[in-house]
Amino acid sequence: MLKKIVAPMVLALSLAVAASGAAEAQTRVTLKSAKAGSSYYVMMVQLGELMKKESGGKIQPTVEESQGSVQNVKEAGRRPGNFLFTSPPNLLADARAAKKPFEGETGYDKIRTLFVMPFVTIHIVVQKDSGVTDVMQLAGKKFIAGGKGTFCERRTTRIFELLGLDGKVDVVDVELDAASNAMRNDKVAGFATCSSHPTPQLVELATTTPLVVLSFTDAQRKAILAADPLSGPLSIAAGTYKDQSQAVETVGVPVGAFTTTAMDDETAYFITRNFWQKRDQLAKENPWWGGVSPEMVNQLGTKLHPGALKYYKEAGIKVDDSLM
């Protein structure tokens, strides 16, 4: 009788231990970048799928929607576990220095670099029939300067300051996901969106609403770039968006994929190595991946995670001493 009772108990315990071991063998990674519908959200979905596939399911990714880089960085300062997020490098520098909007906050020294993401492309978008053909003509117009409280809003506001438009544009403070409808319904002349191109939001909007992505003049772009040496000139090729007959001359901001010291070296190494080894495959699905290379990691200005550094050394990539 005792054997009949004990045997099922041993079997049940063995199954429980096996199930527990299988669960422990899985590594959960949370990925966070931007609003659903943005190019960066799509990138996070791609990266999550890549991690799961290449690890044979050992890495279990969860992609979360975000209001933008400011939220990502703030969460990185206090979030436990494996957290992969995107941000422009200058925002991390501001966080470490406790500058606005990170005043009085700590915890940002534990952020570490993994790899380079496609650059943020600054899009200044207006209705085609608005009569606006130059950014200076936004004076007196209602305009959504990027999502409320986001890096894009801060960046667009800074551009207006540099071009002498500070206080002259009627900036409407709303969430970016309301921008398309606001422009479509003539509530605003246009809006700014900061995402790698082509951004899905504009691809979709352009199919129903005639729009124009404004170019900066050479003088305007020179003034913008002089104030931010991390930025660079970018061109949006003709035909990127519906009825876009010529290239748009704008500016771009570098972006990185970051994590924290809470991520173990093995996971950081695996993610970094597989990203670069599969980069060309990703680019076949979405061309924005083709514009990044391992050497660009030196633009990110934040120390590399030891696991990521291991990959770059193995791959023979020269890394600045400041990132080690």
247-263 pLDDT, tens digit each: 999 999 999 999 999 99
Q: Calculate mean pLDDT across residues 7-23.
A: 43
DSSP state of 239: T
The whole-chain average pLDDT of the chain stands at 91
Q: Do domains 27-117+255-323 and 120-253 have the same CATH topology?
A: yes
Answer yes or no: is pLDDT of 33 > 60.
yes
CA distance 88 to 91: 6
Query: Above pLDDT 90, what percent of the chain?
Result: 79
pLDDT score for 24: 52
* H/E segment holding residue 163: none
Spatial distance between the Cα atoms of 72 and 168, rounded to a whole number of angstroms: 31
Quick one: pLDDT at residue 147? 82
Residue 51 has pLDDT above 50, yes or no: yes
Q: Which residue has the tokens 């063995």?
A: 14
Closest by Cα among 272, 234, 227 to 114: 272
Instruction: Select from 3.40.190.10, 2.60.40.1840, 3.40.50.2020, 3.40.50.620 the CATH code of 120-253.
Output: 3.40.190.10
- What percent of the chain lies above the pLDDT cut of 70? 93
> 10 Å Cβ neighbour count for 167?
10
Q: Which two tokens stand for residue 315?
A: 């791959």
* Nearest by Cα to 239 from 198, 190, 200: 198
Q: What is the pLDDT of residue 10?
A: 41
What's the mean pLDDT in 297-320? 97
Enumerate the domain spans of the chain. 27-117+255-323, 120-253
DSSP string, 187-226: SSSEEEEEESSSPHHHHHHHTTS-EEEPPPPHHHHHHHHH
Sequence-distant (6+) residues with CB within 8 A of 136 are 163, 165
For residue 132, the model assigns a pLDDT of: 97
- 92-110 confidence digits (pLDDT tens): 999 999 999 999 999 999 9
- Residue pair 194/123 in contact by the 8 Å Cβ criterion: yes
Sequence-separated (6 or more) residues with CB below 8 Å from residue 142: 170, 172, 187, 188, 189
- At the fourth CATH level, the homologous superfamily of domain 27-117+255-323 is Periplasmic binding protein-like II (3.40.190.10)
DSSP run (H or E) holding 127: strand 111-127
> In the predicted model, is pLDDT for residue 17 greater than 90?
no
Inter-axis angle of helices 69-76 and 89-96, nearest 10: 50
CA pair distance 166, 168, nearest whole angstrom: 5
pLDDT digits (tens, 9 = 90+) for 168-180: 999 999 888 899 9
β-strand partners of 4: none
At 218-235, the pLDDT tens digits run 999 999 999 987 788 999
pLDDT of the residue at 150 = 86
Instruction: Say if pTM beats, i.e. exceeds, 0.85.
Output: no
State the average pLDDT over residues 306-323: 97
Q: Which residue has the tokens 């899009």?
A: 123
